Each structure stands twice: as structure tokens, then as C-alpha cells.
Amino acid sequence: MLFRIRRGSLVNAAAIAAAMLMAVAGARAFDESKYPDLKGQWDRTAQPRWADAKSAPLTPEYRAIFEENLKDQAAGGQGTDPTFTCVAPGMPRVMNMYAPFEIVVTPRTTHMLMDHIHDSRRIFTDGRDWPKEMQPNFNGYSIGKWIDEDGDGRYDVLVVETRSLRGPRSYDSTGLPFHADNETVINERIYLDKADKNTLYDEITVNDHALTRPWTMVKKYVRKPNKQPVWQEAVCAENNPHVVIADEPYMLSADGVLMPAKKDQAAPDLKYFPQSRK
């Protein structure tokens, strides 16, 4: 009995100590083993295009806007692609992944870090609800939830909804437009390939009033093997040859002189200069 009591006490003490230590660790530690390993450098597997524009389920009104944009681009303009002045591409376009990106998972937030223009995202996973008032952003406001779909005790899918977007935005440089009301809602499912942990998918469904139905696209990314990846800084404004004057796009020549973007484009109005020079 004595032995039993002592042994039982020891067992109990060990179990209690272990439980307490586990609880402390659980309370203060971020248990990475619960989350998929998304560390490293991810890159796109295709050109940064959203889709074949013909497949876009645009409403007739926005199909006409898109066609007009194509005509303008063919003439040297930018159409409905707003990013040539280095404004942010916004969601969901940033998921075209213009430069390699990093995913930083913390219990409260998943950060998507993309060194392009202003592409990085915060996806809040702390259980918050949508704020009553949200200031619209190009990347919107994203709330995510980690899901253990296969019940193995580890999360395998990050489900995200993004709202509160602002414009102008397009899907890619072809100028595929979003509705000007900026009521876009984007749903994503982000997950690793079950057979290849170096392949990541983002299944993106766009709900937008420029579309006749929700439009789903799956983006695929691959993980680079370098454990210490090289991250290159991208500064859009550093050598941007595009200039907008009074809503009209112009170009800068190699010698930094203003030149037309379109054939026979008129020179900008210089009424604020007392004299003009050729």
C-alpha cells in the first residue's frame, strides 16, 4: 500500500508536472506543429495573368469596358490597368504573385509578404469579427480561419474572406476590370498539395458586380529549395517610365524627356509656365 501510494504519488506528480508544463508551453508557445509548414520562398508557376480574358464572366457592360480598354492599350494607353503609376495592384491581383513571396504564420495573423509595389497582406486569424466600420484598402480587410479538414489534429487549409476593397483595380495588366462600386468579396482556400509539400494552391473565388457569377481560379505556387532565400527589393517608382499629367498617360524617354505614349498624342498643357520651349 505504501509502495502503491508512493508510486501513485510519483506518477501523479509526474503527470501533473507534465500537464502543467504542457499547459505553460501551450499558453506561451506558438505550437508550429499544428500549422502546415509554409516557410521559405514561394514563386508563381505561370505568367502573372489572372486567366484567359475570354473566359471572364463579365456582364455586357463590363465586357464593353474591357474591350474599350484593349483598344486603348493597343493605341499605347493603359486602359483600365491602373498600376502603371505604381499604385497597389490590390486583391485579388496581388495573388498573381509578381515577385517571390513569404508566408509568415502566427496564431493571430498570417502575413503574406510580397516585395512588389504595396502587395503584402495581413490575414487576421485571431477570431475577430468584421469591424463595423472599415477603411477601404487596395488589399481589403482579410479574416481567415485555419481548418483541420482531414481530422489529423493539424490544420491543413486556411480559409479567407476579404472585403472592404477600394479601386481602381484590375485582375492583371490586360485591364480586366472590377466593378467601380468596390463591393468585391473574395473567398480563398489556401492549402499545400497533399503529395508535394513544395506546391501551394490558392483557390480564389471572386464575387463582383462586374461578373455574371462568382468566378473561381486556382493559383499554384512552388517553394524554392534555398533554405536561406535571396529576397530582392522591388521599387516600382525608382525607374518608372510612365507619367500621368491631367489624367493623360505619357512616357519618359531614355534621356528622361517627356514623350507621347500614343501616336499623335498632344503635348501637355503648359499654361502654368510663362513660356514654353520646344
Partner 1 sequence: MLSRCGFGSLLFTAAMLLSLTGAQAHDESKYPDWNGQWRRPPGVNNQWEPTKPRGQEGAPLTPEFQAIFEANLKDQAEGGQGTDPTYICIPDGMPRAMNVIFPMEMIILPSTTYIHIEYLQMFRRIYTDGRPFPEDTDTAFMGYSIGKWVDTDGDGRFDQLQVETRFLKSPRAFDSSGIPLHPDGKTIVHERFYQDRDKPDVLHDEVTTIDNALTRPWTVTKHYNRVRNPIWVEAICSENNDHIKLGKDTYMRSADGLLMPAKKGQRPPDLKYFNAQDTRK
Distance CA 145, CA 133 (A): 21
| Nearer to partner 1 (CB atom), residue 54 or residue 271 | 271
66 binds partner 1, rule: CB under 8 A: no
Kindly state the smallest distance separating residue 55's Cβ from partner 1, in Å. 30
Kindly state the smallest distance separating residue 196's Cβ from partner 1, in Å. 22
221 binds partner 1, rule: CB under 8 A: no
Task: State whether residue 80 is helix, strand or coil.
Answer: coil
The pattern of x and - marking residues 76 through 95 that bind partner 1 according to CB under 8 A reads ---------xxxx-------
Cell of 167: 479601386
Burial class (CB within 10 angstroms; exposed 0-12, middle 13-18, buried 19+) of 5: exposed
99 binds partner 1, rule: CB under 8 A: no
Residue 76 main-chain phi, psi, to 5 deg: 105, -5
Residue list 27-56, contact with partner 1 (CB under 8 A): 28-33
Q: Count the site residues for partner 1 by CB under 8 A.
A: 74
Residues 6+ apart with CB under 8 A from 257: none
Distance CA 90, CA 88 (A): 5
192 binds partner 1, rule: CB under 8 A: no
Residue list 103-122, contact with partner 1 (CB under 8 A): 104, 106, 108-109, 111, 113, 115, 117-120, 122
How many Cα neighbours within 13 Å face the side chain of 109? Answer: 9
Stretch that binds partner 1, among 71-79, 177-185, 214-222, 255-263 (CB under 8 A): 255-263
Stretch that binds partner 1, among 45-53, 101-109, 185-193, 210-218 (CB under 8 A): 101-109
The pattern of x and - marking residues 230 through 249 that bind partner 1 according to CB under 8 A reads xxxx-xxxx----xxxxx--
Task: State whether residue 197 is helix, strand or coil.
Answer: coil
Stretch that binds partner 1, among 47-55, 64-72, 210-218, 250-258 (CB under 8 A): 250-258
275 binds partner 1, rule: CB under 8 A: yes
226 binds partner 1, rule: CB under 8 A: no
| Nearer to partner 1 (CB atom), residue 106 or residue 198 | 106
How many Cα neighbours within 13 Å face the side chain of 81? Answer: 22
> What residues are paired with 219 via a beta bridge?
202
Q: Single out the residue of 102, 50, 51, 67 nearest to residue 229, CA to CA.
A: 102
